[in-house]
Chains A and B, each alone.
Chain A
């Protein structure tokens, strides 16, 4: 069985390596990872790519056994994936304020997020990038609202690179960690994207 060594690789490389291997026709293989973020991203990717993942601890991380699900000769069906996501609305929040003015911008962002639970058409997912991750982590003024949205089924995702840069990885309070692969997929699969 093939073993991919993704230890030490930064996101989104481990996911891309996994995707390439599945696309190359491997039905069963292992991926070695040494960090929580690539492990979770690979698992998320596999669930959307019709593969099972079995997780085992190793001395320096995890070994993920990836198996293509039975009854599906082509594991990767980009069209099905695209169709399953096509009516989704994604908000990309790249800052913790709306517009340039810091003082007003922060009030507007809080107001914007705190209004979301009361609207009929909520976004399907909200991806927080760059300073946006200050909204999903400790001391964010909108944590309660984001938790409510998360409980209502809105996916809340924070960029792992950004959390790492601002040293907020341990302070994430809501949703999950994501990578550029997920973000680009959200943009390129026919979703409605709103960038703030």
Chain B
């Protein structure tokens, strides 16, 4: 199983936007609570597998979604 990454955001609206974009791009993801170790203003994050992380970065940057990512 490949490593998993958490993609976290500054606002809930960013989560919603990111989820829509990933759905449109058919990229598998899961909504998860933001891990406590990460400081985030939003309680929900996205979990993605390592092999799609680069693509996720590209899409979210292109769409202007503010995010950070970290190994889960």
Contact = CB atoms under 8 A, between A and B. Distances in A.
Interface size class of A (residues with CB under 8 A): 10 to 19
Interface stretch (A30-38, A106-114, A153-161, A167-175): A106-114
A108 to B, nearest CB: 8
Interface in A130-152: 141-142, 144-145
A115 interface: yes
B12 interface: yes
A196 interface: no
B15 interface: yes
A115 B30 contact: no
Interface residues of B, number: 11
Secondary structure class of chain B's binding surface, majority of residues? strand
* Most central of A103, A107, A111, A114 by chain B CB within 10 Å: A111
A167 B39 CA distance: 43
B16 A110 contact: no
A114 B19 contact: no
Contacts of A114: 30-33, 47
B33 A115 contact: yes
B56 interface: no
Interface in B9-29: 12, 15-16, 19
B7 interface: no
B16 A103 contact: yes
Contact of B44 (A107, A141, A144): A107
Contact of B43 (A103, A111, A144, A145): A111
A112 to B, nearest CB: 9
A194 interface: no
B31 A107 contact: yes
B25 to A, nearest CB: 15
Given A107-B44, A111-B43, A141 B16 contact: no
Contacts of A115: 32-33
B30 A107 contact: no
A144 B1 CA distance: 14
B29 to A, nearest CB: 9
Nearest to A113: B31
A115 B36 CA distance: 12
B19 A144 contact: no
Given A107-B44, A111-B43, A144 B30 contact: yes
B12 A141 contact: no
Interface string A29-55: 000000000000000000000000000
